[in-house]
Amino acid sequence: MNDVLDGLTEFLTVARERSFTRAAAKLGIAQPTLSQTVRALEDRLGVRLLIRTTRSVSPTEAGERLLQTAGPRLDDIRADLEAMRELRDKPAGTFRISAIDFTVDYILWPKLAPFLEKYPDIKIEITIDYAMTDIAATGYDAGVRLGGVVAKDMIAVPLTPHARFAVVGSPSYFERHPAPTVPQDLTGHRCINLRLPTYGNLYAWEFEKDGQELRVRVDGQVVFNGIFQVLNAALDGFGLAFIPETMAAPHLEAGRLRRVLEEWCPYWEGYHLYYPTRRQSSPAFALLVEVLRYREQDKAMQSR
């Protein structure tokens, strides 16, 4: 049985990364060694698990089945073993989190920095990800999303009390263009778009007032796939932007940006840290969750 299991971790890493190069770097082994290990597993099972070309690697039907069935089980075993190792005086472990850059800078890092100083044996790997990534299938320990879009089978922990976006533009932009008074006016403005990788589409700006919900698809000269670049373009006068209120606040106070359509921007369920139930078995992860959990005393930090 041990012979059959040999190479399973290596195969799962390659299948998830879709690359021998990235998988070898992640596992800390040479690429030829990794390739030989996976080939030996295929030989023992008598079935081909990966389709290899000069430009890509992808699972075969059998490989995809093994990835979906064995992958979560192996993750559970790793979590249990890690929990056993953490029964020491010092909490320890490595945790991978998927989040967008805004939530990392404004929500996670202000709490993570002192936490990591206190617990030097805990390591955090954060991936900036605008896709609706399946964290359980891709090996992440947790993710950050608005509460309304967290899958029902996940445990969700609040990180902020609420979330709200703002439509903003620079004073120089409004010197050349009249301010919109209703969301429909945005179709006549230069707007800075955000492309979301999950669907390959431009994000439609979402509004609500007196029970009326609107989604407006805007147009403009520039498109980005990161929210900080959208902010910078707005500051430079390239058009109107739809960005988190917390991000806009210091620029509004300093007069670098001006806000419009505020009465049309609803409050949404706040950002949440979410994770599979298996993660409850780790004491170090429980500490991480508690330090990130939103509390009333966090209001001053959230409004900075």
Query: What pLDDT was estimated at residue 85?
Result: 64
Sheet hosting strand 201-202, strand order edge to edge: 201-202, 193-196, 223-224
Q: Compute the Cα dihedral for 11, 17, 22, 26 and give only its sign.
A: negative
Residue 199: which pLDDT band, with cuts at 50, 70 and 90? low
| Answer CATH for 163-268 from 3.40.50.970, 3.40.190.290, 3.40.50.620, 3.90.420.10 | 3.40.190.290
Mean local confidence (pLDDT), 61-80: 85
Q: 65 to each of 1, 49, 133, 281, how far by Cα in Å? A: 19, 9, 19, 26
Query: What pLDDT was estimated at residue 298?
Result: 64
The CATH architecture that domain 88-162+269-300 belongs to is 3-Layer(aba) Sandwich (3.40)
The tens digit of pLDDT for each residue in 145-183 reads 998 888 888 999 999 999 999 999 999 999 999 999 999
Mean local confidence (pLDDT), 63-88: 78
125: three-class secondary structure by DSSP: strand
Q: Checking DSSP bridges between strand 271-275 and strand 142-146, what pairing results, if any?
A: antiparallel
Q: Compute the Cα dihedral for 21, 17, 129, 233 and give only its sign.
A: positive
The tens digit of pLDDT for each residue in 232-245 reads 999 999 999 999 99
The CATH architecture that domain 8-71 belongs to is Orthogonal Bundle (1.10)
Cα–Cα dist 87/129, whole Å: 32
Whose structure tokens read 């980005």?
224
Cα–Cα dist 182/193, whole Å: 18
Percent of the chain with pLDDT over 70: 91
96 forms bridges with which residues in the sheet? 125
Query: What pLDDT was estimated at residue 116?
Result: 96
Query: What pLDDT was estimated at residue 299?
Result: 59
The tens digit of pLDDT for each residue in 136-147 reads 888 899 999 998
Query: What pLDDT was estimated at residue 1?
Result: 43
Higher pLDDT among residues 18 and 54, named by residue: 18
Look at residue 279 and tell me whether its pLDDT is greater than 90.
Answer: no
The tens digit of pLDDT for each residue in 4-46 reads 568 888 999 999 999 999 989 988 999 999 999 999 988 888 8
Cα–Cα dist 274/179, whole Å: 38
Cα–Cα dist 259/241, whole Å: 10
The mean predicted confidence, pLDDT, of the chain is: 89
Residue 86: which pLDDT band, with cuts at 50, 70 and 90? low
Instruction: Please indicate whether the domains covering 8-71 and 88-162+269-300 agree at the CATH topology level.
Output: no
The residue extents of the domains of the chain are 8-71, 88-162+269-300, 163-268
> Where is mean pLDDT largest: 49-63, 158-172, 276-290?
158-172
- The string of DSSP codes covering 21-72 is HHHHHHHTS-HHHHHHHHHHHHHHHTS--EEE-SS-EEE-HHHHHHHHHHHH
Query: What pLDDT was estimated at residue 175?
Result: 96
Residue 3: which pLDDT band, with cuts at 50, 70 and 90? low
Cα–Cα dist 115/123, whole Å: 10
